[in-house]
Chains A and B, each alone.
Chain A
Amino acid sequence: MISALQKLFVSSNENSLLSRLVGFFASGKDQPLTTDSDYITKQFNYHRRNVIVLITLCYGLGYVCRLAFNVVKKPLMDAGVFTPEEVGIIGATLLYGYALGKFTNGFLADHAHVGRFFAAGLFLSAMANLGMSFSDLAWVSALLWGINGWFQGFGAPSSVVSLANWYTNKERGRYYGIWSTAHSIGEGLTYLGVAWLIAAAPKGLGLDWQWGFWTPAILCIFGAFLLWRYLPDRPRALGLPTVADWKGDHGQIDKEHQDESIWKTQLRVLAIPSIWILALASSSMYVTRYAINSWGNVYLQEIRGFDLFDANLFIFFNTAAGILGCLAFGLVSDKFFSARRPPANLIFALLEIVPLLVIFYGPQDPLILGIALVVYGFGLSGILASLGGLFAIDIAPKKVAGAAMGFIGIFSYLGAGAQDYISGKMIYSSEIIFAFPNGDQNFNIFFYNYDKPIMFWVGASVLSIVLASSLWKVKAAD
């Protein structure tokens, strides 16, 4: 079977550059099934091991190319390259580019040889990072970083398509959990690794801010090579049976739509009410996630009085705990609830919301704050692994897992982007300036009130779990 996408372009002009390009990235034809069961098992074992290692490692490396700008924000402002306002605009373009990328690339990934597709995204993201290191024009950087957001959107759908192609419904939770640790690995590499390169001695190497883009670019080029070389196409394109046939693990089979084209199935995904509810739930949870990522650090310094190092350390603990949260969610939902996500969603949501209340309304003790941030990171990563993709893959037909993921993704990142704007506006509206003029120089001390943003962030989490719990009886599709 040649993909519909390839057909579309090949029919219009057999040898055009575009059709050759599309052909190159398209998933291969279904090959005649191999009958040697030992060979099939060996091939599945080999590729399944490669898939989980590669998508986890390379998605983590990709994160470094996404977050690099966050690390160099302050050096860029200190060096007078960009104003804080310009930095804010550049940062926001990535979120919107990423939302768009997750959606469009989700649809494309279902038709693609994901090894080549993912590799291309990572390579182009590396190029965008290199471009950023040479730009001191705000509009150029905003454009590059927005495009980088779109390139970043190649990774998640490709990974999810690989997970859908190589792991069955019953085991996908565990593997999805392993893959989701990539978020935390990437954030850890960035906030500790890249920050260490840029931070002034003795805490860091004190390299120029450009290294904050060059290093991620080098890592992403390396990741792109690995993906290009080792991430396989679909099992059927390799002459292997589907993983569901190989494992004898089928979900509910929708016989009515079994033979319809991928495009039609993708459009049908949009007509599934559960997907819309899940998209809204994920969007709400992303509000909290990005609120803590974007403003948590500032909140800890502004309101709780921690210095920059300690505030970052707290955020890092929260990120590190996320690795365990992802793994635990997959394991808990697969093993204790027979791959049903809603009960695990509820447990992890409580593990996210209760510490969130402790962080903002609890005792001022740093130890309690630290513990609350760790539990919050654990709970949030678990629930995000589910709402941000795993549950969507369960609900959607497997051959359009990428589209389902993309649909959820665009909602999630639109929520994240809107959150940044709304939180910033709320925080700015509470600003009180204490000014100490000294001739031409002005010492301005800014005070902000986070009461309203905190209610917004916590409320978003509550809304998210209410929406997710409304899908209690929804079952996985095949």
Chain B
Amino acid sequence: MAVKPVLLTIAMSSLLLGCGEKAADSFCKSHAKEHQLHQSDITQVNIYYSEQGQIVAQIKIAQQHAHYQALANVAKVLEVKADKACSDASVEITEQGIYYQASYSLDCGAENKLNKVSVPILDNFKTIDEVEVAISTPSSAKHFLLSRQCDSPIFNL
């Protein structure tokens, strides 16, 4: 008699876990199409890397997610690793309604090989659920979404 409740519990748990996974999976697969509906509300990151070695990162973020001081701290937003050191980043932050518009620019030089550009905003601004990113380099450009619910970026927006 005791077997039935155990089996039932296992079955229900599996079902719930399964459904949980499916829901997240389903969101990640379908969100590219639905993203437009809330596009204007979410955090946006635009990064331009020019042939001359200039890097400009622009971030539009709701004030509820970030304090001015935190945004002014470049290390919380942008870290660049290159063969040679880049110039210190200049920061400009303006308020636009309920948003901050932050711009970071630095010069790494045309002959400098860029290795890694880290943008730790998901780590440092914990209330952000989703970020829309556009990156442009001299060779190509990519546009994608990062969601805490998904294991990988969402392309083809």
Cα distance A434–B46 in the bound complex, in angstroms: 12
Asked if A434 and B115 sit within 8 Å, CB to CB, the answer is: no
Contact residue among A304, A307, A434 (Cβ-Cβ distance under 8 Å from B135):
A434
Contact residue among B114, B119, B120, B121 (Cβ-Cβ distance under 8 Å from A432):
B114
Q: Mark A419-438, 1 if CB is under 8 A from B, else 0.
A: 00000000000111111111
User: In the complex, which residues of chain A have a beta carbon less than 8 angstroms from the beta carbon of B47?
Assistant: 434
The B-contacting residues of A in range 5-25, CB under 8 angstroms, are: none
**Nearest B residue to A302 by beta-carbon distance?**
B140
The answer to whether the Cβ of B146 comes within 8 Å of any Cβ in the partner chain is: yes
- Chain A interface residue number, banded: 20 to 34
Cα distance A445–B143 in the bound complex, in angstroms: 10
The answer to whether the Cβ of B141 comes within 8 Å of any Cβ in the partner chain is: yes
Asked if B115 and A432 sit within 8 Å, CB to CB, the answer is: yes
User: In the complex, which residues of chain A have a beta carbon less than 8 angstroms from the beta carbon of B114?
Assistant: 432
Asked if A437 and B140 sit within 8 Å, CB to CB, the answer is: no
User: In the complex, which residues of chain A have a beta carbon less than 8 angstroms from the beta carbon of B151?
Assistant: 441
Cα distance A307–B143 in the bound complex, in angstroms: 12
**Nearest A residue to B135 by beta-carbon distance?**
A434
A443-B146, A443-B153 known; A434 vs B140 contact (CB < 8 Å): no
The answer to whether the Cβ of A449 comes within 8 Å of any Cβ in the partner chain is: yes
The answer to whether the Cβ of B75 comes within 8 Å of any Cβ in the partner chain is: no
Contact residue among B49, B122, B139, B152 (Cβ-Cβ distance under 8 Å from A451):
B139
The answer to whether the Cβ of B65 comes within 8 Å of any Cβ in the partner chain is: no
User: In the complex, which residues of chain A have a beta carbon less than 8 angstroms from the beta carbon of B119?
Assistant: 434-436
The answer to whether the Cβ of B70 comes within 8 Å of any Cβ in the partner chain is: no
The answer to whether the Cβ of A263 comes within 8 Å of any Cβ in the partner chain is: no
Nearest-Cβ distance from residue A374 to partner chain B, whole angstroms: 24
The answer to whether the Cβ of A450 comes within 8 Å of any Cβ in the partner chain is: yes
Nearest-Cβ distance from residue A241 to partner chain B, whole angstroms: 61
A443-B152, A443-B153, A445-B153 known; A436 vs B121 contact (CB < 8 Å): yes
Q: With A303-B140, A434-B117, A439-B122 given, name 10 new contacts (CB 8 A).
A: A303-B139, A305-B140, A305-B142, A432-B115, A434-B47, A434-B116, A434-B133, A438-B146, A443-B152, A445-B133
